[in-house]
């Protein structure tokens, strides 16, 4: 079960981030703050799939990062029963001077896997990515699409097999061809089926309509609406026009 109770998140706005003069001025002037989330409340029970929609910068990722423990809320409480797995569509940590094989070990390590656990998954990762011919080629010789494939595959196959709470933050990213996108979506759907609760932030409204049991619409950090997917997606589509 997940219970989000009056969660707000404030960030300090670093317009000319961290300069020494700014540091000195902190003693004289008030800091500029940005309220990324304002009083968010909702509950999710086992079996529910929540879709989170909103424009860029509306606060979706901030909410998901708070739920996954990457960020702490400024106000309010987050109660989560179970192990949280956060999958983001932005892949960092890969070293372009190293081979695909080495990068699988790096991403696996960053995803909290031991060497033995990575050894168990490596064959699946290589086969799924369909770029096995480049296993020992440094990443700087890869195209951006190949890097996205590798990153997504490694991230997907280094997740716990049955996550209790799965959080997908624009997990597919961009730059994938249709064939691989469908294949990756099928794999993600397998994870969604095995998870107790799933939260998906995405701009793909059709996907959310088919997958989710509930939609949360966030605008300017506020929960504009939460409830039945069809109704909320319709209102959101009209709002975007």
Partner 1 sequence: MKNILKKSMTLSFYEMKARNQSTYLGFFWYFLEPLIMFTILFYVKRNIVNYEIENFIPYLFIGVIMVHFFIVATTEIMSAVVRNYEILNSKKIEPEVFIYSIFFTALKRHIFEALLVSIILMFFGYYYGFLYIFIVPFYALFVLGVGQILCVLSTKIFDATYLWRYLCQILWFILPIYYLADMQNFIFKYNPIYYFINLGRKLAFDLTSVSFKLFLICFLISIAFYFISRFIFNNQKYLITERIK
The footprint of partner 1 (CB under 8 A) covers 11-12, 14, 17-20, 23, 65, 68-72, 84, 86, 88, 90, 92-93, 95, 97-98, 102, 105-106, 109-112, 114-115, 138
Q: List, in order, residues 6 or more apart from 42 with CB less than 8 Å away.
A: 4, 50, 216, 223, 226
Rounded Cα distance, 104 and 108, in Å? 6
Rounded Cα distance, 183 and 198, in Å? 19
Whole-number minimum distance, CB 8 to partner 1, in Å? 14
Whole-number minimum distance, CB 101 to partner 1, in Å? 11
Q: Which is nearer to partner 1, 21 or 240 (CB)?
A: 21
Q: Which is nearer to partner 1, 89 or 229 (CB)?
A: 89
Nearest CA to 165 among 187, 136, 194?
Answer: 194
Whole-number minimum distance, CB 110 to partner 1, in Å? 6
CB distance 169 to 87 below 8 Å: yes
Rounded Cα distance, 228 and 234, in Å? 10
Q: Which is nearer to partner 1, 39 or 109 (CB)?
A: 109
Torsion angle in degrees (nearest 10) through CA of 214, 219, 223, 227: -20
Q: Which is nearer to partner 1, 15 or 18 (CB)?
A: 18
Rounded Cα distance, 58 and 64, in Å? 12
Q: What angle do CA 172, 178, 182 make, to 5 degrees?
A: 60
Cα-based distances in Å from 134 to 71, 120, 142:
36, 20, 8
Whole-number minimum distance, CB 159 to partner 1, in Å? 12
Whole-number minimum distance, CB 79 to partner 1, in Å? 17
Q: Which is nearer to partner 1, 85 or 215 (CB)?
A: 85
Q: Which is nearer to partner 1, 11 or 134 (CB)?
A: 11
Whole-number minimum distance, CB 55 to partner 1, in Å? 19
């Amino acid at each position: 079960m997940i219970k989000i109770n009056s969660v707000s998140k404030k960030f300090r706005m670093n317009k000319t981030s961290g300069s020494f003069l700014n540091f000195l001025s902190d003693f004289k002037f008030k800091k500029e703050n940005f309220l990324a989330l304002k009083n968010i409340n909702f509950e999710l029970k086992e079996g529910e799939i929540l879709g989170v929609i909103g424009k860029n910068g509306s606060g979706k990722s901030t909410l998901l990062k708070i739920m996954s423990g990457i960020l702490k809320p400024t106000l309010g409480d987050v109660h989560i029963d179970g192990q949280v797995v956060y999958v983001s569509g932005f892949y960092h940590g890969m070293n372009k001077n190293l081979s695909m094989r080495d990068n699988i070990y790096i991403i696996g390590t960053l995803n909290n896997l031991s060497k033995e656990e990575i050894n168990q998954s490596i064959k699946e990762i290589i086969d799924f990515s369909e770029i096995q011919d480049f296993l020992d080629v440094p990443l700087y010789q890869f195209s951006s699409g190949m890097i996205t494939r590798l990153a997504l595959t490694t991230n997907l196959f280094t997740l716990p097999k049955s996550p209790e709470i799965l959080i997908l933050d624009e997990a597919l990213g961009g730059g994938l061809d249709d064939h691989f996108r469908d294949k990756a979506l099928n794999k993600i759907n397998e994870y969604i089926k095995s998870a107790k609760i799933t939260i998906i932030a995405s701009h793909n409204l059709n996907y959310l309509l088919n997958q989710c049991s509930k939609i949360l619409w966030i605008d300017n950090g506020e929960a504009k609406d939460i409830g039945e997917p069809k109704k909320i997606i319709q209102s959101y589509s009209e709002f975007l026009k």
